[in-house]
Amino acid sequence: MQTDAARTTRYAGAALFSAPMWDAVVLGLGGVGAFALRALAKRGVKAVGVEQFEPAHDRGSSHGETRVFRHAYFEHADYVPLLLHSTAEFRALGESVGRPLIEACGTLLVGERDCAVLASAEAAARQHGIDVEGLGTDALRARFPQFNVPDSHRGLFEPGGGFVRPEESIRAALEEAQRLGAELRTGVRVERIEEGSGGVKLHTSSGELRARRLIVTAGAWTAKLVPALARRLRVSLQIQAWITPPDPSLVDPARFPAWLIVRGDEPPLYGIPNDQRAPGAVRAKVALHGRREACDPDAPRRALTDDDIEELLRVVRRWLPALGERVADAKSCLYTVTPDDHFVVDRVPGMDHVCCVAGLSGHGFKLTPALGQAVAEVSLDGSSTLPVGFLTLARFSA
């Protein structure tokens, strides 16, 4: 019989093995968790994924119909192999489930002529042989007249970039994971993680789960579950809006790429063309990258105000007046940001059986296939075949 002491202290590993035991639990089935579960299932591991809501819900960080993907990565050239791997995985998974998950409509970066972001993207492209095309001001205006760019600005176009469908990708990854034998527990919230010598015990809203290893992919909730990471993660509320343009052809992906405009020290403005597979009216998505409004993922501000919309429209008006101001929809979404804006893929300090992916810092969806596979490998084998060494926690102590 379990005593009160056993409930509150580290449990004895031996007792654990006498109970039903999973080889692995994935905690949180958003973008990364869905791909981690798929990677475990592909390896034949007896795995279960636990999700507090329903998959592809709209309360975390992976909703909003579309996400930009690109490979000439200004954030850090070391991401490029992971990006190429992820794009290939999205494509392969889409073929496997019979629904395309990505659209290569190209991506466009716009900034001052000597802008560091464009220079970093060019350097990453050179280093990894990514096809990009520099556009001077006149060429940029001629090719993409939707943008109102000053003479001081130029563009960098990557034809192999585009957008990915996040909710579709999560559903597809989970579908494949289940087909390969993984199980899902949805509508189940993990309240507490307890570690012993033989594995972990999860205290959930529907009883206990035991496993030899745990992968935490809890997005904005990570700090609540893994206090060791709390001081490295900051959650903020972001706003994504959809604009219906006066002329639908303006946002057709054949002539309007996914794009990002660097605005000095102000949050970049970015957007995504109409997704022609989405039902309903033609519309483009727009957002500011990196708003600083702090937020508790369990009590987010879900109702957006006129001021929120005006904050965004003010910038759209300046850079893309042709889109007009008819806002068809707007939704909040959460970023979880690390001090250096790079992700964490590592073992959790002080927990031998627990790995995590955290702090995707507003640019992680495009990498979820690689991150899911990498953390599954770190959990099973101790290291990954993918180059994720630059994403360990050790960089913060250094």
For ligand FAD, the binding residues (CB under 6 A) are 27-33, 50-53, 60-62, 64, 67-68, 189-190, 217-221, 225, 238, 240, 287, 333-335, 360, 362-366
Smallest distance, ligand FAD to C-beta of residue 217, A: 5
Smallest distance, ligand FAD to C-beta of residue 226, A: 10
* Cβ atoms 111, 154 nearer than 8 A: yes
Residue with Cβ nearer ligand FAD (34 or 323): 34
Neighbours of 129 (CB within 10 A): 9
Torsion of CA 171, 176, 181, 187, to 10 degrees: 0
Smallest distance, ligand FAD to C-beta of residue 140, A: 21
Write the DSSP assignment of 114-159 as a string of letters: T-HHHHHHHHHHHHHT---EEE-HHHHHHH-TT----TTEEEEEET
Q: Write the DSSP symbol of residue 228.
A: G
Rounded Cα–Cα distance for residues 141 and 78 (Å): 32
Residue with Cβ nearer ligand FAD (132 or 288): 288
* Cβ atoms 67, 366 nearer than 8 A: yes
Smallest distance, ligand FAD to C-beta of residue 18, A: 26
Residue with Cβ nearer ligand FAD (151 or 216): 216
Residue nearest to ligand FAD (CB): 30
List b or e across 274-283, with b for residues whose CB sees 16 or more CB atoms inside 10 angstroms.
bbeeeeeebb
Residue with Cβ nearer ligand FAD (334 or 393): 334
Residue with Cβ nearer ligand FAD (146 or 217): 217
Smallest distance, ligand FAD to C-beta of residue 184, A: 11
Smallest distance, ligand FAD to C-beta of residue 68, A: 4
* Cβ atoms 240, 261 nearer than 8 A: no
CA-based angle 115:285:327, to the nearest 5? 120
Residue with Cβ nearer ligand FAD (43 or 189): 189
- State the amino acid at position 298 in one-letter form: D
Residue with Cβ nearer ligand FAD (113 or 302): 302
Smallest distance, ligand FAD to C-beta of residue 65, A: 10
Q: What angle do helix axes 166-179 and 80-97 make, rounded to 10 degrees?
A: 70
Select from 97, 64, 43, 145 the least CA-distant residue to 380: 43
